[in-house]
Every structure is written in structure tokens, then in C-alpha cells.
Amino acid sequence: MTQDDMIQRIVIVGGGTAGWMAAAAFSRVLGAMPGLLITLIESDAIGTVGVGEATIPDICLFNNLLGINENLFMRETGATYKLGIEFVDWYKKGHSYVHPFGNYGIDMLGIEFHHMWLRGLSIGDNSNIDEYSIATMAGKMERFMRPDVNQPNSPLSKFSYAFQFDAGRYAQFLRRRSQAQGVERIEGKIVDTLLDSQNGHVRHVQLEDGSKIEGDLFIDCSGFRALLIGGAMGVGFEDWTKWLPCDRAVAMPCAYPNGQSGADSEPLTRSIAQPAGWQWRIPLQHRIGNGHVYSSAHMNAQEAEKILRDNLDGEVLGEANHIRFTAGHRKKAWVKNVISLGLSGGFLEPLESTAIHLVQTGISRILTLFPTRKCNVKEIERFNQQSIEDYVTIRDFLILHYKATSRDDSEFWDYCRNLEPPSGLADKLAMFESSGRVFRENNELFTETSWLSVMVGQGVKAGGYHPAAHLISEVETKERLRHIRGVIKQTANAMPAQADFLRQQGAIMPQEEMK
């Protein structure tokens, strides 16, 4: 490789969360490369979706990569902690469960804990699987502390955490860091793109004022418009509406009632099933993020907005933001010298808070496969293959929530209950229903614990358990289960309240910013 082969200019098209995450990561990791310039183009006249306020634990790795002080980040973005997602009314009305960040119980005899729990069910121990999760129990008690890896035998080492934050403030937070690290921001609206006649690469984008921004590598963070990957490069879209029929959302923040603070809330995101979709509730320090995701084939926008307004905790803080989307992904995430990130590459509804994670994994993959100006075909093929695998495994996990339900109170739920699942999901369900086993394929995002929590929570019945569970007597099995429940409850109860932890860490948002 010669100096002439090296990427000299990265152009990020679009700001928002995806754009500024990319800018912050590239400038942090690649900023010292000789002669490298990183430019981000965005227009204040173009809004961003900006509702991706809940995350999963991998966000901690991203923030650590950027060298972000967690307490500063919490203050700047109005963040609260998140120990899992509570699903309400999904299996049936009046029922709820938590998908926790962490493990259940403790493995015994070399087999996963849930086989001992299943054995317990068969002999009369009717305890709920939630009782064996420190993340779930602490979340319901409004308690939080960071995991303690120095106590491997304690429940305190058996969980992880994520954040709930203001996506707009997070983007601004990363913008300040990016610009301090040398990223150039250009204000402007892109009106045209010029392709190289010989190799098909994007040579430059043209702005409304006539200026032309040249680049060697273009990162498309233009949202649903997909200006480069869909427009200039003409990449088609894989539509998954038949499996994920929700195609609309309405978002609306609200205040806390009676002067309460998000610091005093449960460190859990909540998803409440509705007649034609579901409603999210995300407690931030300074407000509650709310939204209603629904199927336009089963409900109109006015009804969807009314359902959302009728189920808010406090005073509405902004106008209703109506969003249209199609579940699926671009058939190729990387073509020539254009790589899509975020909504330009695809969309999967925020049911399991995966939107920011997909941006993060895309950034990580770009850094791993960072090209020369030639953009090697093998690197592009690997990137595209892995990107599609990410979407497929997340898709199957989301479909599980809709497919595994006993609800029959609307046309929407009838449709979902009778879905023919994709082969990967069908195999997982068949395995669990025959033997109680859960397998994680190819290091997919969601762990065995995640799949177990949703299958059990949504009423999928295990057809058995590992035979080795019989090596412990019935009496001892019940005693061990009782002891584990007790230790987890006692440990969770000893954790500080989330509000106290935030105050102790100096992570409370300044009062003047609480607006």
C-alpha cells in the first residue's frame, strides 16, 4: 500500500445520532492517520427522527471507546440507567415480564440454570423466572449500582446495564467532541451527487449553494431518505412488512406528574401492547419519552395519537411527531465507496432498542474493514454479509414477541399470532418446545438469556429440560431455588436507589437544563 492508496477524506452525509456517532468514533480512532480529513454535512433545515432514546449494554463499550466520562455523559444527555425492558400485556392483558440485562440464577452441574428452574416447575415450585434475575428485581425496586466484577459469586456480577437518554442531546454531545477532535462540520443541503464514470464511485456531493464536497469514502447517515445508498447508488430495499406489520409511529414527550424526577423512576424501559401495536415509555431525567408504534393496516393516525395521549403520565411537552417506516434493510449496506449507517441502511422497530446498536456495529465493522481508495471487493462482501446477518437475527427476535401471544382481541393480534415464522425463529421455537433448550447462533446479538426471557414471558412452553437436572433431588432442587431467590432479593434490596446513585456520582442533570 502506498500513501496514494490511503483514504484522505471521509465525508459523512447527515448528522443526527448516527452521523455524530460515526464522526466521534472515526476522529477518535483514525484521527492520527496522516492527512486524513473528516467532514460531516448536515442541514439545520432537515429534521432528524431523534427518538432512539433507549439502548442496550453494548453502548457502554462504544462510550468507553470514545473515552467518555460516564457521569459527564449522564448529566449532558439527561440519561437514566436501564436494566432491561418490561413488556406489559404482550402475552395477554394484565400480564407482564422483564427482558433483563444479565443472567438468571447460577448454572449448576455444568448446565444452564433455567433447566433447574424448569425442573422446579415440574415438581411444584411455581416461582417466576423474574425472581432469579438481579437486573429485574433491582429494576422493579427502582435501584441501581454498577456491576461488581470483583465478586464473581455474587449476583452483583451477573448483570449489565445500558442507558436511556435524550437522542438530540447525545448527538450534540458527540458533535462537540467530534469538532474538538478535528471534524469539520458543513452546514448545507445536498442537491446532487457526481459519480466517477470509470469506477462508479461517488466523486463529490453538491450543496444547494453550489459548493462541491469531494471525498474518498462517503458514509450515508441521511436517514430514511438514503440519499447516497438508495439515491445515487440505486440499492434496493428488502421489505419485511409481512413479518413486522407495524409501519407507523407517533412520538410525544411528556413531563413527570407532581414534580417527580426521572431519577426516581424504575431503571427500565416499558413496552405496553396496544390493539394494533405497542407503546414505549422511556424515563429520562428531565422528561418521559413516549411513542406508539402501530400498523396502518389496522389503525389510522388519529386513533393512534389518541391512544398515546390517553396513556401519558403528565403534561405534553411537544407536538406529536408522526413517522412512517418500512421494516427491512438495504440489500447492500456498502457499495463502491458508499457505506450506509443507521436509517439509511434499514429500520427495525425500536421494540428491543436496537437502532443505536446497529449504528454502533456498523461503525465497528467499518473500523475493522477500513478500506483503501480502491474499496476491495472482499471487504465489501464481508461487510454486507455480516450486516444482513445482524438484521436477520434481530428481526427473528422481534417477530417472536408478536408470534408468541395468546391475544385474540383484535385483527392485528390475530394476524401476528398466525404468522408463519422465518426458519431461524421456527427452529428456535421447535427446540425449546421439545427440550427446553435455547441456542445462540453465530454469536448473534441476543443471548440465551434474552431468548429465554421472551419465550417464557410470552407463554411458550418448554417440552422438557436437561436430564442432568435429575442429579439433584426434588427437596434439594426446591431448596436451592428458594435460596437463590432469597439472595437475589436481598442483594437487590441492598443496592442504592437510582436517584441516590446518580447524586452520589455527580450524574444529575443541572436544574437549568431540565427543560
Annotated binding site: 15-18, 82, 343, 352, 356
Q: Which residues are annotated as a binding site for 7-chloro-L-tryptophan?
A: 82
The sign one gets for the Cα dihedral 160, 70, 65, 175 is: positive
For every residue of 303-359, DSSP letters joined together read HHHHHHHHT-SS-B-S--EEEE--SEEES-SEETTEEE-GGGTEE--GGGS-HHHHH
Contact 217, 304 (CB under 8 A): no
Contact 166, 509 (CB under 8 A): no
Q: Which residues are annotated as a binding site for FAD?
A: 15-18, 343, 356
Q: How many CB atoms lie within 10 A of CB 92?
A: 14
Q: Is 248 helix (H, G, I), strand (E, B) or coil?
A: strand
- Measured between alpha carbons, how far is 265 from 269 in angstroms, rounded to an integer? 10
Residue 158: active-site member: no
Q: Which residue, 223, 185, 225, 228, is CA-closest to 206?
A: 228
User: How, if at all, do strands 248-251 and 321-324 pair?
Assistant: antiparallel
- Measured between alpha carbons, how far is 110 from 94 in angstroms, rounded to an integer? 36
- Measured between alpha carbons, how far is 12 from 18 in angstroms, rounded to an integer? 10
The sign one gets for the Cα dihedral 400, 356, 165, 148 is: positive
Catalytic residue of the set 82, 140, 332, 336: 82
User: How, if at all, do strands 248-251 and 288-294 pair?
Assistant: antiparallel
Residue 75 sits at φ, ψ, to 5 deg, of -65, -45
Name the residues annotated as catalytic. Answer: 82
